[in-house]
Structure 1
Amino acid sequence: MKNLIYVALLGLLIYSCGTMRDRDLRSDEIANAENDTVRIANDSLEYEIIIIEPGFDLFINTIAKPEGYYSQEYLENKNRFLVSDYNNRVHQPQIYNPNLYVQEINYDPSIDYGYEVNYLLYNYFVYLSRQYNQRFSVPTRI
């Protein structure tokens, strides 16, 4: 009898730790997402990056490599391929989850967006790949 209780508790623990990555956001989660909004804008260059993703703010402040870890050239090269792959997924909603790939990213590699934008954009892709188990096709050597 004692072992049956332990097995039931273990089963309950495993069930409660299950992943929930394919769920829709409830309204209270959407309200909490306002705290996870990262916005960077530069009116002189007329660009803006807004990342609204629950947990991204925590990721960028705790898990992501610190600013300055990567060079701007490295980030720009990675972002060129990551944005291209991401935009391809936006245009294929029958293959890729349209809740993850909502809107196309307008990233022009010929524009100098600066370090901060490239850093946050790159880390968004890192977060997306870790949080939702997505794999992007980026060459290992650029």
Structure 2
Amino acid sequence: MVKNILVILLIALGIYACATPKSNGTTTPSQADIENDTVRIANDSLEYEIIIIEPGFNLFLNSIARPEGYYSQQFLENRNRFLVTEYNQRVLNPQRWNPNLYMMQIDYDPSIDYGYEVNYKLYNYFVFFTRQFNQRFSVPTRI
């Protein structure tokens, strides 16, 4: 499936994050939170599956992120379009950007309607990613 590249990218980021814990002064998630930190989104009719394995992401999604319905799907799609583009440019420039953070491109086609849940979780993953790894994108990811 074409969308499996996104799965591989997010798994790789999760593995990298496991190897490099970072304290930024916030509360550290418990071991139980980390073990339950797998977020899966799938749609067989569109042949995509996203699996996000990132310590702390599920906790972030359920406690810090704005609730589902806060943003419109159009807002999320517009942000994701720009965030994925910038992220993919960083993947292609490993001399400038940490190749351990930006390992694989994300296959996100703005002409496909992935639905609200995918766009919501992808956008919030970018918010989490920017906070966790102290990264900045040209499109703000604020909550």
What is the aligned partner in structure 2 of residue 62 from structure 1?
A: 63
SS in 1 for 2:50: strand
SS in 1 for 2:19: coil
- Aligned partners of 1:23 and 1:40: how far apart in 2? 20
TM-score by length of 2: 0.73
- Preserved contact between residue 80 and residue 107 of structure 1 (Cα < 8 Å): yes
- Aligned partners of 1:130 and 1:139: how far apart in 2? 12
CA, structure 1 residues 100+68, in 2 after alignment: closer, same or farther (shift >3 Å)? same
Alignment of 1:109-120 (within 5 A): 109-120=110-121
* Deviations, residues 77-115 of structure 1 (Å, cap 9, x unaligned): 000000000111111122111221122110000000000
Q: Do structure 1's residue 25 and structure 2's residue 19 form an aligned pair?
A: yes
SS in 1 for 2:51: strand
What 5-or-longer segments of structure 1 have no aligned partner?
1-21, 27-31
What is the aligned partner in structure 2 of residue 135 from structure 1?
A: 136
- Aligned partners of 1:113 and 1:71: how far apart in 2? 13
Bigger Rg over Cα:
1
- Preserved contact between residue 34 and residue 52 of structure 1 (Cα < 8 Å): no
Q: CA deviation at 1:35?
A: 2.6
> Which residue identity does 1:25 align to in structure 2?
A
What is the aligned partner in structure 1 of residue 49 from structure 2?
A: 48
Aligned sequence identity (%): 74
CA RMSD of aligned residues (A): 2.3
Q: How many equivalent residue pairs?
A: 114
What is the aligned partner in structure 2 of residue 82 from structure 1?
A: 83
Q: Which runs of 4+ in 1 moved over 2 A?
A: 32-35
What 5-or-longer segments of structure 2 have no aligned partner?
1-15, 21-32
- Aligned partners of 1:116 and 1:37: how far apart in 2? 15
What is the aligned partner in structure 2 of residue 103 from structure 1?
A: 104
- Aligned partners of 1:69 and 1:121: how far apart in 2? 15
CA, structure 1 residues 62+23, in 2 after alignment: closer, same or farther (shift >3 Å)? closer
- Preserved contact between residue 17 and residue 55 of structure 2 (Cα < 8 Å): no
TM-score by length of 1: 0.73
